[in-house]
Structure 1
Amino acid sequence: MLIIQQGRCTPPLRDLHQCKGPKIVRSFQPEWYSRKEWLCGCDASSKLFCFPCLLFSKERDNVWVGPGYSDLYNLPTAITKHERSSAHIQHQIALKTFGKCTPISIALNEANRLQVSVHNVKVRENREILKDFIRATYFLAKQELAFRGNDESEGSSNRGNYVELLNILAEKGERLETHLQVSTVFTGTSNRIQNDLIQAVSDTLLHDIQVEVNAAPYVSVQVDETTDATNKAQLSVILRYVNQSDVKEAFFGLY
């Protein structure tokens, strides 16, 4: 009871870091404690542990209980996996209800609440990852750059603008980096996903144009024709209209 009342240990763990050669590339950030109420640390071993599992788990070989966790490179993935485990959820319930006469219905409600909380966190993470995919799609479309490369395999030196741009974004975003490395169900880099993203952005832009055109008092259509190398005519269609006292041009399509 005294240990529970004193609460978890949250030392700064200044010696917990990962190096690449002589350079430190990752170091532990104390604010991670505030993000996960179950996370605790040991200054002597410079390892991370799960406070509820330390108190109630009988599986001493669990990395969050016995040896301790120190792989900062894969920490986000390991935290997500641990939070979803039934054992961790049960130990959190045990900690919250310790010393109390708790009906089974309350314990079940607490388990459901924790599962919903973990699910909501994952949904928020997935939304942020999807935003990165949309940003990459929007950037390449705006700059009129090709999306794909001739060889998009793992060993290719140039996997195409879309994949390479995501890899650059991943260098500054730990969430996206982890997703690209460990995701097996939905990575977001396949040709089909690229096509779906392009179509989704296109549909959204055309819808916005439609709304503005419907509200415009004056609209004109500008059509420009050119013949390509195969002697086929191509028409570029541009809508020109008044939008809030300003004249606006919107490219509508190439036919």
Structure 2
Amino acid sequence: MSGGDSDKPQMLDINISTDPILPGPHDISQSRAAGPTQPHLKLFPRTMQGDRKRAFNKSWYAQHQWLEHSASQDSAYCFTCRHFSLPGVQETSFTSPLGYSNWKKAMYKDGGFRAHEKSENHVNSMLAWSEHKRRILTYTSVLSVLDEKHQKLVEQNRAYIKTVAEVLLFTALQNISQRGHIETDASTNKGNFLGIMELIAKHSPLIDKKLKAVGNAKYTSNIIQNEILACLSDMVRESIISEVKENTFFSIIVDETKDLKKKEQLSIVLRYYYNGAVHESFLDFKQATELDKEGLTQKIIQCLERYGLEYRSNLVGQGYDGASVMSGRHSGVAASIRANAKHAFYVHCKAHCLNLVLVDSTKSVPESETFFSLLQKLYV
């Protein structure tokens, strides 16, 4: 070599993911990632060299990190020269398929391993190996930092979503409205949900940061609120259905009423025995487009089938009001369901019986009759 830098080792720019196919035995390193193959055998093969039998010594690994040994060939090889040499470098005994096996001269001061370590190609390959390990370490460190930041972000997002869900659950359990009429930043009354979230934000930097973020997902819109409430209701419903299935037998209580838009809807309640007590749990609302026997029966059966409740053999009771379409012995919903579920005996709803008593009682008081008649006319 010539020039001012002729005595300086050349730095190699080697792609750490590239592993060329190398000649040699199968029981030494086949890739850079594998590292030197350094088996610690109890007894290495002994061959006659000079005046006595000699063998490879495993203590040489500690002195020469680049050294690897093939048990099948009983030969030594240089890991770095095999994987990190410059293209076109002349092959040596430490890189040839047969390897180096002159154990007599292995530890000579001017021969064997030490002579190989002084060669220019080995010095360059060792520098390349060091650079390779540095890149791997740096890459791993960067991945570790990114993973740590990602994990922290995931935990923060989960904590925020959990807070949103808990506030919605609280307002639902307290039976108070979530949203206000005007929910803009300038509004002095944004409703219960946003009001509670802003109160929590005063004591939580994380919640405050999320609520004040610009162009970020805040999960406070009415659509998100409804989706979270739907998820919470699904969780409650799954728990109820699990309790019913564990007990096997159940009854249903169904009533229809008009909502605020004056649309008829069925409210379906399950009555069952669980954990030593009788439970009545709301199952679902279903809009009733057809109010005849067939339409109402189909809605009830579809609801039970949707949630996997076996009604043909496990439904043992049904309770409705006294309307003929529901309680009729021949043309009512009770009779129609009884045709499919033979154990589903009909019981007139006691709450409706009490309601009829109250209605008849108020009719004997003119002032009350006038008052409720006026309320009915206003509603209509």
Q: When the two structures are superposed, what TM-score results if normalisation uses the length of structure 2?
A: 0.38
Deviation at 1:229, TM superposition (A): 7.9
Distance 2:208 2:234 in 1: 28
Q: In the alignment, which of 250, 269, 272 is matched to residue 241 of structure 1? A: 272
Runs of 4+, deviation exceeding 3 Å = 224-235
Q: In the alignment, which of 188, 195, 206 is matched to residue 157 of structure 1? A: 188
Distance 2:186 2:218 in 1: 17
Q: Assess, with a 3 A threshold, how the Cα gap between structure 1 residues 219 and 183 changes in structure 2: closer, same or farther.
A: farther
Q: Assess, with a 3 A threshold, how the Cα gap between structure 1 residues 158 and 247 changes in structure 2: closer, same or farther.
A: same
Ranges in structure 1 where 5+ consecutive residues have no aligned partner:
1-99
Q: What is the number of equivalent residue pairs in this alignment?
A: 156
Confirm or deny that 1:181 pairs with 2:208: no
Q: Assess, with a 3 A threshold, how the Cα gap between structure 1 residues 194 and 111 changes in structure 2: closer, same or farther.
A: same
**Corresponding residue for 2:169?**
138
Ranges in structure 2 where 5+ consecutive residues have no aligned partner:
1-129, 287-380
Q: Assess, with a 3 A threshold, how the Cα gap between structure 1 residues 230 and 158 changes in structure 2: closer, same or farther.
A: closer
Confirm or deny that 1:166 pairs with 2:176: no
SS of match in other structure, 1:103 = helix
Q: In the alignment, which of 214, 229, 234 is matched to residue 198 of structure 1? A: 229
Distance 1:185 1:230 in 2: 35
Q: Deviation per CA, 1:20-55: give whole Å up to 9, x if none.
A: xxxxxxxxxxxxxxxxxxxxxxxxxxxxxxxxxxxx
**Residue identity in the other structure for 1:246:** A
Deviation at 1:154, TM superposition (A): 0.7
Deviation at 1:180, TM superposition (A): 0.7
Distance 2:228 2:261 in 1: 30
Distance 1:189 1:242 in 2: 39
**Corresponding residue for 2:157?**
126
**Corresponding residue for 1:210?**
241
Distance 1:134 1:229 in 2: 26
1:206–1:252 Cα contact (<8 Å) kept: yes
Q: When the two structures are superposed, what TM-score results if normalisation uses the length of structure 1?
A: 0.56
Deviation at 1:200, TM superposition (A): 1.1
Q: Deviation per CA, 1:179-209: give whole Å up to 9, x if none.
A: 1112532011112211211111111111111
Deviation at 1:227, TM superposition (A): 5.3
**Residue identity in the other structure for 1:150:** H
Deviation at 1:226, TM superposition (A): 4.1
SS of match in other structure, 1:192 = helix
Deviation at 1:123, TM superposition (A): 0.3
Distance 1:131 1:247 in 2: 32
**Corresponding residue for 2:283?**
252
Question: Which range moved further: 179-188 or 224-233?
Answer: 224-233
Distance 1:231 1:123 in 2: 44
Instruction: Give the structure, 1 or 2, with the largest relative contact order (CA under 8 Å, sep 6 or more).
Output: 1
Deviation at 1:109, TM superposition (A): 0.5
Q: Deviation per CA, 1:79-116: give whole Å up to 9, x if none.
A: xxxxxxxxxxxxxxxxxxxxx98611111111110110
**Residue identity in the other structure for 2:229:** I
The structure that has the greater radius of gyration is 2
Deviation at 1:245, TM superposition (A): 2.1
Q: Assess, with a 3 A threshold, how the Cα gap between structure 1 residues 232 and 108 changes in structure 2: closer, same or farther.
A: closer
Distance 1:121 1:227 in 2: 48
Q: RMSD value over aligned CA atoms?
A: 2.3
Q: Assess, with a 3 A threshold, how the Cα gap between structure 1 residues 237 and 188 changes in structure 2: closer, same or farther.
A: same
